[in-house]
Structure 1
Amino acid sequence: MPRLLLDTHILVRWSSDAKKLTREQRRVLEAAARNSEPLAISAVTLLEVALLSNGGKLKAPLDDFFADLEADPLVNVIPLTYEVASEFGSMGVLQDPSDRAIVATARIHGLRLVTSDQRIIESQLVPVVE
């Protein structure tokens, strides 16, 4: 069972340029990798990655990026569920729908969110690794 949920930018940085992560983010993710701990991402993150790819902000071709994720047994994609959607509706403090869905996913599944997003961090809606 995963204990960490990666937001979109953390996932992209972790897979392409880990130097852009904070020291704490790298420490936590490297420890998870060393211990073969699964990492979670929200299904919404896949959509955001596709948007980043369309905007030229993804180093690898999108199909390759997704194939690598799918082949990694330690990456768990958490689907959008009725519970997550219901939680999504209760978080008016976050305006960005993707942020709300990712935070709702972390809350429903009891996961710490690895993020650098200041709005999410300041909202204190979910425990974070920043």
Structure 2
Amino acid sequence: MRRHRRSSGGRERMGGPEGVGRVERGCRQASPAEERRPEEPVTLLDTHVVYWLAVHPERLSRAATRAIAAADRSDGVAISTISLWELARLIDKGRIRVDGTTERFLIRLGERPGMTLLEITPQVAALAVQFPPDFPADPGDRIIAATARAHGIPLITRDGALQDSP
């Protein structure tokens, strides 16, 4: 299992009306103690991007598809573990559909080669509550944006408010 190494790198904006691209990789668990070389960026995917990547890759924009492919060629893509909960909730409420059980779908996401699962660390939790008042109040959005910031990695999202996060 490959592990994510932290960095102080920058954040990228991505998105657009078409959404975001397709990349296949396998699961790694992040270790906050590890350091990542800047030439090996990981790209964080917002929850809707993870779903589109797995179920509707045609909804991903060309820019996002290129960004994910570039990440795939280097150190891969990552998802916040809060995205697993968000997806489970959407499936349970019937807002999205997947093949098989919810659990199996979520396991398959984590098993993609090169996929890193980034947990909610104390640093992520602290950052998530420090955004300005006009930042989205949704806890999932805050945790995802804080995860990107804490790890110094780009975030691919169609959500303009997250793209503009401080």
- Number of paired residues? 123
Structure 2 CA distance for aligned equivalents of residues 5 and 115 of structure 1: 9
**Within 5 Å, which residues of 2 pair with 1:56-95?**
56=94, 57-60=96-99, 61-91=101-131, 92=133, 93-95=135-137
Residue aligning to 2:46: 7
Matched, 1:124 2:162: no
Contact conserved, 1:42 with 1:79, CA < 8 A, in 2?
A: yes
Contact conserved, 1:84 with 1:108, CA < 8 A, in 2?
A: yes
Bigger Rg, which one: 2
Structure 1 portions without partners, runs of 5+: 126-130
Structure 2 CA distance for aligned equivalents of residues 41 and 71 of structure 1: 12
Q: Which runs of 4+ in 1 moved over 6 A?
A: none
Structure 1 CA distance for aligned equivalents of residues 110 and 68 of structure 2: 18
Q: Which has the higher helix share?
A: 1
Higher RCO (C-alpha under 8 Å, 6+ residues apart): 2
Counterpart secondary structure, 1:10: helix
**1:64 Cα deviation after fit:** 2.4
Contact conserved, 2:42 with 2:71, CA < 8 A, in 1?
A: no
Matched, 1:108 2:150: yes
Counterpart secondary structure, 1:40: strand
Structure 2 CA distance for aligned equivalents of residues 58 and 114 of structure 1: 22
Contact conserved, 2:145 with 2:165, CA < 8 A, in 1?
A: no
Superposition RMSD in Å: 1.6
Structure 2 CA distance for aligned equivalents of residues 87 and 117 of structure 1: 19
TM normalised by structure 2 equals 0.68
From 78, 85, 89, the equivalent of 1:47 is 85
Structure 2 CA distance for aligned equivalents of residues 70 and 96 of structure 1: 23
Contact conserved, 1:12 with 1:58, CA < 8 A, in 2?
A: no
Contact conserved, 1:3 with 1:110, CA < 8 A, in 2?
A: no
Matched, 1:26 2:65: yes
**1:36 Cα deviation after fit:** 5.8
TM normalised by structure 1 equals 0.85
Structure 2 portions without partners, runs of 5+: 5-40
